[in-house]
Chain A
Amino acid sequence: MRRLTKLSAVAAVAALALAGCGSSDSGGSDGGSDKPAASKDVCKTAKGDGPKIGLAYDVGGRGDQSFNDSAYVGLKKAVEEFDGSCVEGEASDGEPESAREDRLRNMADSGATAIVGVGFAYSDSVNAVAPDYPKVNFAIVDGFDPDTKPNDNVAYLTFAANEGSYLVGVAAAEKTKTGTIGFVGGVHNDLIKGFEAGYVAGAKAAKPDIKVDVAYIQESDLKGFGDPAGGKAAATGEFDKGADVVYHASGASGSGVFDAAVEAGDGKWAIGVDSDQYLTATTAQKAHILTSALKRVDVATYDFIKTVNDGKPATSYTTYDLKNDGVGYATSGGFIDDIKSDIDGYKAKIVSGEIKVPTKP
């Protein structure tokens, strides 16, 4: 009995400790540079008289080099431009609904007038909190209204991520030499399926006989967005099966996909997601990042704060798509300069409505 207790204590502590590691890993694959960035955080220094902005991050928080960091970029720009101030809050893995509500209420109570929830997980909590603070304006990235009662102080910022994915699908199809390309999704949910659908459609449009290998790191466990080892395993499997371009939509797991491309050697490419990931990649990875599908969470965040600052706060749904440059693709590294005109041709057709990009695979 006593030995069992000791054994189980070690296991339980390991479980807690590993949970801790998991969230800090997803907080930044380069923990070293994460910390100074956080202390240089604009919210620690900005004390302007402009609007006070609350930014509630999704799991992973600052330092994921993708989704959350992109929201921060928009926040920083807004705070500097409008001479405002801000408060930030970070979600932890496996937190209850009440924790998200508490975070939003803390922000509203501390005087924030514009509050942005990053990620669809905030949809229910904003819906519960917003009616209690009629003078505060809320926005949810990727969010939706869960009931039929409209909220006149909530903006839902959605993205046509399938359109950006379509363009990198075209890029992948035009660059592949083997005729096989890959896709790595973080979690097999509806959001990520939209990325897959656009990517596959774009690739087939550019090269009808192309083979697309699709893999998801997790079926439903959100750990799939913070699992670089899982991303690497999935991408390596696709490279081994003959793919030479792999697109990932897996948040912080993407660094593993980039590593897999590096190990697969010359002529093997990875495509980044959300942010221009060429800019934050390591030197070794840079040579393998073909392009990135951009999801301009920074633009959406900034735009929303601007409307609040202008006294005409955005409400209801705003879709960011190719038409308003809310999604797109990155050209850093110059690897796709030769096919840029082709991609822009597809882009024009999507904008004009000639091509309808599917949202479901």
Chain B
Amino acid sequence: MKSFNPRAIGLALLGPAIAIVASVLVTTLVIAAVGSSPGDFWSTMFDFPKPRSRVDIINQTAMIYTAAVAAAIGFRMGLFNIGLEGQYTLASYAAAAFAGGAYLSGFANVFVSLLIAIAVGAAWSAIAGILKTTRGVSEVISTIMLNSIAITLVGYLLNKYGVHEGNTVHTTRIDLVSGWTPFENRDGEIWTLVIIAILAGVGFWVLLNKTRFGFDLRASGQSETVAKASGVNPHRMIITAMALSGGVAGLIWMPALFGKATNFGLGTTFQAGLGFLGIAVALLGRNRPIGMLFGALLFAYLSVKSNDLTFATDVSPSIVQITQGVAVLAVVVAYEVVRRWRARLEQRVVSQELGTATEATA
């Protein structure tokens, strides 16, 4: 099934290609409709990024990718974890508060903070899993509500225990982990903890394809009854998958915390919205480790480059949200179209081969 057939690869790439073309078309139409120049827009967007933008794109890709992996763990199991946003907000706050407390020093502080991020994300997410298995509450509803609770809770805790400075409030500042500076110092550095994204991606692939748990996860996602018949405990699977998804979500913002931010502050250092981007990228990449990598790169590129728009054009940077949204919608439609087309092609191949086979035996 996984043979390197050029036509199969071509078909696999056809879906994303159609989606990108569609999103380019729609974005162009929208820009033209409001009376701005699509030419200016695209030439700005395709202009090769400045060194500092290249650094930003890599750092952003890492965080979006981690978010996508977190979403994909749920999706592969058939769980729609929209709660990534709340999970990583709460986990980021907890980790930043612990790191700021400086109970440990150096590497140990970073390591334990990461463990706390995972634990808090997993615990917050598991609430939705427990609600689903014990009370039958849809995880879609409960995770949305848990998002609101998480952000309000974090705001309350920050106000109460945070450091008030100027008009802001944030957790105690911490020492950064120095990263890699590929260009000049002023162009910024690629954060060390970007490695989390790589580990998450590899770990996700291994988990899915090489472990019993991964098999159970995929089986439960495809057919709950079959999974149950083959000895999978659905309740335990739901809670474990939610916790795992939330645990990975807890790590989303960690590269930024130790690479650049030094503290957690709502509306200042903390970058909100990565959870929702992760869901979109998981869909764009069809929950596949490599596919999501390209999706994350595309989204990071669009977001970072959109900052140049206000200088070169009169198009609002918000326009890239349309591009991103259409890409997600189009990719789902395009995959369905390609899937049907491929099925028809395969049928034809099979019938041809059957035909020649019958002729040969005759």
Chain A residues within CB distance 8 Å of chain B = 1-2, 4-13, 15-17, 19-20, 23-24, 27, 35, 38-39, 44, 87-90, 92-99, 101-103, 105-106, 110, 120-121, 123-124, 132, 142-144, 146, 187-191, 218-222
Partner among B155, B222, B332 whose Cβ is within 8 Å of the Cβ of A221: B155
Contact B269 A124 (CB under 8 A): yes
Interface residues contributed by chain B, number (CB under 8 Å)? 65
Residue of A nearest to B164 (CB): A190
Contact B329 A13 (CB under 8 A): yes
Contact A106 B307 (CB under 8 A): yes
- Given A17-B325, A102-B307, verify A1-B151 contact (CB < 8 Å): no
B279 within 8 A of A: yes
Contact A89 B311 (CB under 8 A): yes
Residue of B nearest to A107 (CB): B311
Contact B317 A92 (CB under 8 A): yes
Contact B221 A11 (CB under 8 A): no
Contact B279 A142 (CB under 8 A): no
Which residues of chain B in 267-317 are interfacial with respect to chain A, using CB atoms and an 8 Å cutoff?
267-269, 271-274, 276, 279-280, 283, 303-304, 306-308, 310-311, 314, 316-317
Q: With the chains together, A187 CA to B168 CA distance in Å?
A: 12
B residues near A90, Cβ cutoff 8 Å: 310, 316-317
Residue of A nearest to B140 (CB): A11
Contact A106 B266 (CB under 8 A): no
B residues near A103, Cβ cutoff 8 Å: 307, 310
8 A-B pairs closest in CB distance:
A220-B155, A144-B166, A94-B273, A16-B325, A191-B167, A9-B332, A219-B155, A20-B321
- Given A13-B329, A96-B60, A220-B158, verify A110-B311 contact (CB < 8 Å): yes
Residue of B nearest to A90 (CB): B310
Q: With the chains together, A313 CA to B328 CA distance in Å?
A: 48
A residues near B268, Cβ cutoff 8 Å: 97, 120-121, 123-124
For A19, A187, A189, the residue with the greatest tally of chain B CB atoms inside 10 Å of its CB is: A189
- Given A1-B222, A146-B165, verify A98-B322 contact (CB < 8 Å): no
Interface string of B70-87 (1 = CB under 8 A from A): 000001001010100000
- Given A19-B321, A88-B310, A98-B56, verify A120-B269 contact (CB < 8 Å): no
Q: With the chains together, A11 CA to B325 CA distance in Å?
A: 10
Q: With the chains together, A106 CA to B52 CA distance in Å?
A: 11
Q: With the chains together, A87 CA to B59 CA distance in Å?
A: 27
B251 within 8 A of A: no
B159 within 8 A of A: yes
Q: With the chains together, A187 CA to B337 CA distance in Å?
A: 46
Partner among B166, B304, B329 whose Cβ is within 8 Å of the Cβ of A143: B166
Chain B residues within CB distance 8 Å of chain A = 34-35, 52-53, 56, 59-60, 75, 78, 80, 82, 140, 151-152, 154-156, 158-159, 164-169, 186, 188, 221-222, 256, 260-261, 266-269, 271-274, 276, 279-280, 283, 303-304, 306-308, 310-311, 314, 316-318, 321-322, 324-326, 328-329, 331-332, 336
Contact A9 B283 (CB under 8 A): yes
What's the count of A-B pairs with C-beta under 8 Å? 174
Q: With the chains together, A113 CA to B244 CA distance in Å?
A: 50
Q: With the chains together, A94 CA to B271 CA distance in Å?
A: 6
For B165, B167, B269, the residue with the greatest tally of chain A CB atoms inside 10 Å of its CB is: B167
Residue of A nearest to B317 (CB): A92
Q: With the chains together, A92 CA to B52 CA distance in Å?
A: 19
Q: With the chains together, A250 CA to B279 CA distance in Å?
A: 30
Residue of B nearest to A156 (CB): B166
Contact B169 A190 (CB under 8 A): yes
A residues near B280, Cβ cutoff 8 Å: 12-13, 15-16
Contact A220 B152 (CB under 8 A): yes
Closest chain B CB from A271 CB (angstroms): 21
Closest chain A CB from B69 CB (angstroms): 16
Contact B156 A19 (CB under 8 A): no
Contact B266 A12 (CB under 8 A): no
A residues near B279, Cβ cutoff 8 Å: 8, 11-12, 15
B residues near A120, Cβ cutoff 8 Å: 166-168, 268
Residue of B nearest to A24 (CB): B318
A residues near B328, Cβ cutoff 8 Å: 9, 12-13, 16
